[in-house]
Amino acid sequence: MRKTKIAVLVSGGGTNLQALIDAQNSGIIKSGNIELVISNKEGAYALTRAANANIKTEVIKKTTQEEFEAKIIALLEENEIQLIVLAGFMCILSENFTSKYPKRIINVHPSLIPSFCGAGFYGLKVHEAALGYGVKVTGATVHFVNEIPDGGEIIMQKAVYIEEGDTPEILQKRVMEQAEWKILPEAVERVSKKISEEQ
């Protein structure tokens, strides 16, 4: 069976990208292959992680939404990408983009959707909001991406307990370790398998 060609879109440190690379190396991801990493930020450490794993990288800076998305689409087409993974990608994609790839874009979000999600909830802000509200359980969600920010069909979720003395940074790390780095590779394998079986 032909492996699903995957592109990973990133903006920062890339620990979720690293989890995907490790999962590919260990065989957790066996139905897909990461062909390309696209960053909207020059110098993002995620680009170094990709280069260290011999994965092709591209930087596309945000200009107008239309131009930015057109450049990404051109790269995806050039590389015959079948599955797009948003792994710490801090830009919202328009309906013009998402409607081209129904059930072909997945995102990891650091809360249990529908809590603490949507426009304005990204990175540490999500954990600040969870601690501010006083929830006792949070977690991570992997979902398909549609035109509603964090509103697409949920693929996997994992709960993580909040502990006494948590700061946003401590909680972010626990959510990554206990949830994101586990469910993102599993979800990517699940969706890649489905795509590769269809072709």
Q: Which stretch binds ligand GAR (CB under 6 A): 22-30, 105-113, 131-139, 158-166?
A: 105-113
Q: Of residues 44-83, which lie at the interface with ligand GAR (CB under 6 A)?
A: 46
User: What sections of 118-180 are H helices per DSSP?
Assistant: 124-133, 168-175
Q: Of residues 8-27, which lie at the interface with ligand GAR (CB under 6 A)?
A: 12-16
| 88 near ligand GAR, judged by CB under 6 A | yes
User: What residues are labeled active site?
Assistant: 109
Q: How far is the CB of 134 from ligand GAR (least distance, A)?
A: 20
* Residue 183: count of CB within 10 angstroms of its CB: 21
Q: How far is the CB of 58 from ligand GAR (least distance, A)?
A: 17
Question: How far is it, in rounded angstroms, from Cα 33 to Cα 188?
Answer: 10
* Residue 99: count of CB within 10 angstroms of its CB: 11
Q: What is the DSSP letter of 136?
A: S
Q: Which stretch binds ligand GAR (CB under 6 A): 26-34, 53-61, 93-101, 102-110?
A: 102-110
Q: How far is the CB of 47 from ligand GAR (least distance, A)?
A: 11
> 117-156 mask for ligand GAR (x: CB under 6 A)?
-----xx--x------------------------------
Structure tokens at 182: 């586990």
Q: Closer CB to ligand GAR, residue 78 or residue 177?
A: 177
User: SS3 of 81, please?
Assistant: coil
Query: 130 with 115: CB under 8 angstroms?
Result: yes
Question: How far is it, in rounded angstroms, from Cα 84 to Cα 145?
Answer: 10
Binding ligand GAR (rule: CB under 6 A), the pick from 32, 180, 182, 192 is 180
Structure tokens at 192: 């890649």
**3-state DSSP helix/strand/coil percent for the chain, to nearest 5?**
40, 20, 40
Q: How many residues in the shown chain lie near ligand GAR by CB under 6 A? A: 16
Q: Which residues make up the interface to ligand GAR (CB under 6 A)?
A: 12-16, 46, 87-88, 108-110, 122-123, 126, 176, 180
